[in-house]
Amino acid sequence: MATFDLSLNELESQQLMAVAAERQLTPEALITRWVRERLAHERERAAGGGEARSPRARRDSESHR
Does residue 60 fall inside a structural domain? no
For residue 34, which of 6, 62, 64 has the smallest C-alpha distance? 6
Does residue 16 fall inside a structural domain? no
Q: Are 17 and 27 in contact (CB under 8 A)?
A: yes
For residue 31, give its domain range: 21-45
Does residue 33 fall inside a structural domain? yes
Does residue 62 fall inside a structural domain? no
**What is the rounded distance in angstroms from the CA atom of residue 60 to the CA atom of residue 2?**
34
**What is the rounded distance in angstroms from the CA atom of residue 3 to the CA atom of residue 20?**
19
Does residue 40 fall inside a structural domain? yes
Q: Whole-prediction pTM value?
A: 0.69
Question: How many structural domains comprise the chain?
Answer: 1
**pLDDT tens for residues 16-65?**
999 999 999 999 999 999 999 999 999 988 888 766 667 777 777 777 76
pLDDT at 7: 96
pLDDT at 49: 76
Q: Are 16 and 27 in contact (CB under 8 A)?
A: yes
